Amino acid sequence: MAQLLVEKGYDVFGMVRGQANPKIRMIQEETPKLELVEGDLQDLSSLIAAVEQVQPDEVYNLGAISFVALSFRQPELTADITGLGVLRMLEAVRIVGGPSNQGEGNRIRFYQASSSEMFGKVRETPQTEMTPFHPRSPYGAAKVFGHYITMNYRESYDLFACSGICFNHESPRRGLEFVTRKVSNGVARIKLGLQEKVTLGNLDAARDWGFAGDFCEAMWLMLQQDGPEDYVIATGETHSIQELLELAFAAAGIDDWGHLVESDPRFTRPAEVDILTGDASKARSQLGWKPKVDFPELVRMMVESDLEIEAGDPSRRP
């Protein structure tokens, strides 16, 4: 997101928590023009101070406890950051942005990263902006709160506040705890003789996977509209873990791979989300948005990146 905004000529600020945040160096190396400010989604006063310092035109709230499995182990922390963190960010925007001189409401435009996990046990397929929510994890439930409180602030305080209901979006920068990166990195390590097997949870789960760079373009487009609305951002295609594995091993040049994958019940969720498929018709028609990177290209991109990392400088390995 930061790279996209820098390319568009923005002065971009990223909020970081803590004095010794291990991600600061990585962020600065990837986007040197990004300026960092201190703030914490658990501390409203720090958010007000950050917004006052930056005086932004646009705020993109992508911060969250975003790993679903962790949300089951730390549900209260997830609710506080992923849910209440949105409320605190909106309050900071409301307080600092104030009414505009033209009487058009708050001058700061706000984007909230909502999630397909809000649909959970899906009521219909594909899922649209009107599909009822049925979250199946503390993460999904916290995201539902964030989604509805964004809607409430939009309607109560005349904020330009919108949510992108984003389905799974991946890239080579994805954390190793997420299944796509776990697969791409595991396959790369198997190819290089550094690992014997990939161990996963539910191999039957299916998701609508897209490229994170494409999704960031959609986020930006939402804040360029005349009015704030919510949009589903998805590819409209569903792929299983099995398909993910087939493409990843093919990208590494490994044909006979069945014996290299195993399922472990330790990695299954207490309440599983079996399939998610998004209908982004509204985003296509109103934003003029559509994904550019297809699923096979995305998987190949991730495997090739991990092959380069694992074969290169050992200090760069995850």
Q: How far is residue 3 CA from its own chain's centroid? A: 15
Instruction: Find the catalytic residue in 117, 170, 217, 310.
Output: 117
Beta-carbon contacts of 151 under 8 Å, excluding residues fewer than 6 positions away, are: 161, 163, 230
Determine whether 111 is an active site residue: no
| Residues listed for the chain | 318
Determine whether 117 is an active site residue: yes
For residue 177, how many other CB atoms are within 10 A of its CB? 12
Report d(CA 20, CA 262) in Å as an integer. Answer: 37
Instruction: Find the catalytic residue in 111, 139, 153, 231.
Output: 139
**DSSP helix/strand/coil, 270:** coil
Q: What share of the chain is helix, strand, coil (3-state, %, to 5)?
A: 45, 15, 40
Determine whether 148 is an active site residue: no
> Which residue matches tokens 């310092």?
53
Report d(CA 296, CA 183) in Å as an integer. Answer: 14
Instruction: Find the catalytic residue in 46, 71, 114, 115.
Output: 115
> Which residue matches tokens 């028609």?
285
* Helical (H) or strand (E) element with 97: helix 85-97
Report d(CA 11, CA 33) in Å as an integer. Answer: 8
For the annotated catalytic residues, the residue numbers are 115, 117, 139
